[in-house]
Amino acid sequence: MEIYFLGTNAGVPTLQRNVTSVALRLLEERRSFWMFDCGEGTQHQVLRSPLRLGKLEKLFITHLHGDHLFGLPGLLSSRGYQGGTGPLTVYGPLGLKAYLDISLSVSQSRIPYPLEIVEHSGGLIFEDDGFKVEAGLLEHRIDSYGYRVTEKDSPGNLNKELLLSYGLKPGPLYGLLKKGQDVTTGEGVLIRAAEVVNAPKRGRIVTVLGDTRPCQGTLPLALDADLIIHEATFGHDLKEMAHQYHHSTARQAAELARDAGGRELLLTHFSSRYTTQEELLPLLAEAQEIFPQTLLAEEFCTFPVYRRTQGNDPGK
């Protein structure tokens, strides 16, 4: 599981950074990726990345401001030309369907794959055997949502050395044991699953927050997350401006990560006043004073999502 940034700027694209879009790559789990937000020019960013639109399975829009949305019609249209034949589901706030219906219909865009648009007002919006996704309302000028992606726990590994000592070689009974079922060998030896299966692997939690002021809605989404992606439009010296425009500072993002017991924080959605990565270093420093496990998002860079093992302290 990896995070890959396609755009990290707020408001408008610059020569250095494109507007917001981030991919969650589910490599072993699903051999696909999910996308969060799709600002103008995102499909151009995809062409410069290792991502392939044909592997895009789900797309989540945090809110309907242009820097998070204007790239969506073009990307949906191009997906069919780039080998995308499988179904795609797009989730977002009320108004998303009207926007896409008009954009695609007026431009007579052809979508040659099953496209589902799901409008929501928060809560559990997706669940299958491997993952669930919950959304929560934040505080912005328009309805803006954060998303909490929870990977479900997976069965622990078999203690193969112990099984071999019982005379049980790899085969169908291994599968039954991993499912938690006790088995009996051909020699009549009872093997209890609880004795030969290690503890389950804790699923990872990734929280992606849309544009927001500090608010009560962020904490439930970020609680105990392995990775929190949070906007840091301004440095804390501009906290009044951040409040006025319904955004957050880097320090405020770090305070949330600390209070939520998060493991790692990635800052993104930077104001155009910070033109280079070096100019963002003061934002990183102020965040790390509060929450040391903080990194700056950078386009075309991969950030692994590490699994917190049993007994890990938050932030370790």
Question: Does 67 participate in catalysis according to the annotation?
Answer: yes
pLDDT at 132: 97
H-state helical runs in the chain: 42-47, 72-81, 96-106, 160-165, 172-178, 193-196, 218-222, 239-244, 250-260, 281-290
Annotated binding site: 63, 65, 67-68, 140, 211, 269
Return the domain boundaries, the chain.
2-154+201-304, 160-195
CA dist., res. 64 & res. 274, Å (int): 24
Among residues 67, 182, 224, 237, which one is catalytic? 67
Both tokens of residue 42?
A: 């995102």
> Which of 121, 120, 122, 110 has the alpha carbon at shortest distance from 89?
120
Tell me phi and psi for residue 118, to 5 degrees.
Answer: -115, 110
pLDDT at 157: 81
Residue ranges for the binding site for Zn(2+)?
A: 63, 65, 67-68, 140, 211, 269
Task: Name the one residue in this structure whose structure tokens are 């439009």.
Answer: 233
pTM: 0.89
Nearest to 63 by CA among 264, 211, 268: 211
Series of mean pLDDT values for 10-residue runs along the chain (316 residues): 96 95 86 95 96 95 97 95 91 97 94 96 95 97 97 84 81 80 82 82 94 97 98 97 97 98 98 95 98 97 82 42
Q: Name the CATH superfamily housing domain 2-154+201-304.
A: Ribonuclease Z/Hydroxyacylglutathione hydrolase-like (3.60.15.10)
Cα diameter, the chain: 75
